[in-house]
Structure 1
């Protein structure tokens, strides 16, 4: 039973090593953004988030006002 467990552990270790080599290989293919692109995309995300917050706040206020009129 011990030799089977050792063989199983060796197979798992080999599989893990193969997986990590594959991950490293794929990460080398990634086109990473430069600093200017990151700043630009971050700005776009912040502005879009703020616009969504303002829109939801306006809709909440309008529906809240309408609900208060009904009650």
Structure 2
């Protein structure tokens, strides 16, 4: 019984080692962005978020105005 458990644990360890070796080799293939690219993309996302927030705010104010004007007289 104990022999089966130790064999099973050894097989699990081999499988886990193989998995992490595969992960490590895949990470070596990744092309990471430069600091300048990360900064540029971050600025684009922040500016786009602000623009959309302002647009949604204007649309919300417009809808509230129209509802008050025509429906809730």
1:23-62 C-alpha deviation (Å, 9 max, x unpaired): 1101111111111111111111111111111111111111
Structure 1 Cα separation of the partners of residues 54 and 32 of structure 2 = 32
Greater mean alpha carbon deviation, residues 20-29 or residues 3-12: 3-12
Q: How many residues align?
A: 71
Which structure 2 residue ranges, 5 or more long, are not aligned?
A: none
Where in structure 1 do 4 or more consecutive aligned residues deviate above 3 Å? none
Q: Distance in 1 between matches of 2:20 and 2:45?
A: 32
Query: In 2, distance between residues paired with 1:64 and 1:5?
Result: 68
Residues in 2 aligned to 1:18 and 1:27: alpha-carbon distance in whole angstroms: 14
Q: Distance in 2 between matches of 1:5 and 1:67?
A: 71
User: With structure 2 as the length reference, what TM-score do the two structures score?
Assistant: 0.83
Question: Cα RMSD over matched residues?
Answer: 1.3
